[in-house]
Amino acid sequence: MASGKKGGGPKGGGKVSDARHKAVRVKTARGRKSSSTRWLQRQLNDPYVQEAKRLGYRGRAAFKLKEIDEKYGLLPTGGGAVVDLGCAPGGWVQVALERMGERGTIVGVDLLECEPIAGATLIQADFMDDDAPARLKAEMQGPADVVLSDMAANTTGHAQTDHLRTQALAELAYDFAAEVLKPGGAFVSKVFAGGAGKDLLDLLKRDFDKVAHVKPPASRKESPEMYVVAQGFRGGRDGRS
């Protein structure tokens, strides 16, 4: 478990400017693959990447949660508890801290080590471990208001396979969320093009008052990712709360 004072949140808010920047061109260096050159050029010309650096976020993904929260008002203010599954490198944790303030409780869990973020508890573990729900409830001193998941399976290059693997992660994330959410809580998970699969969507529609899909502006247009947003948790598939 990691909780600490290093690597705190961003220094300010603000929206990403739509102003056009002068494009940066990257030459292919000797020994560098052309795909790496294209990735580097995209990063250098991405306004979300530039704004994340300016504000101190740990990556452009922070803006995805900011935009989802602005649309749906998911993150509690003045307190509450949030779990971030697959939290590394920590951008969503930073946004949750920014929104919830000092009275909020944020617990992140990831198989990878995540550099400490002041005000959050970060656990290096597998959220699918049998004892994970009880462990996180103990850290939060109760159930969660929101469970977030920006997890995606490692891509294979085969669109259908990648969709199915990420869909399976979303289903596992909801299995976990159903264990720790309080009534009225919310669940957000990454899915791929086509949205949540029928089995997961049926569960969410049964267990929540409202279910929607969203592709935030910070998601790259060419990316197949989108998010399922479920609000108004009714207490779980077997009546748990």
Find out whether 179 and 133 touch, Cβ atoms under 8 Å: yes
149 backbone φψ class: left, alpha, beta (φ>0; ψ -120 to 50): beta
Alpha helices in 58-214 (DSSP H): 62-72, 91-100, 132-140, 159-180, 198-207
| Alpha-carbon span 2 to 231, nearest angstrom | 29
| Alpha-carbon span 199 to 231, nearest angstrom | 18
- Which residue among 5, 11, 64, 190 is the active-site one? 190
**144-149 sheet: strands from edge to edge:** 120-124, 105-110, 81-85, 144-149, 181-192, 225-233, 208-214
Find out whether 68 and 91 touch, Cβ atoms under 8 Å: no
Active site residue 190: yes
Q: Annotated active-site positions, please?
A: 190
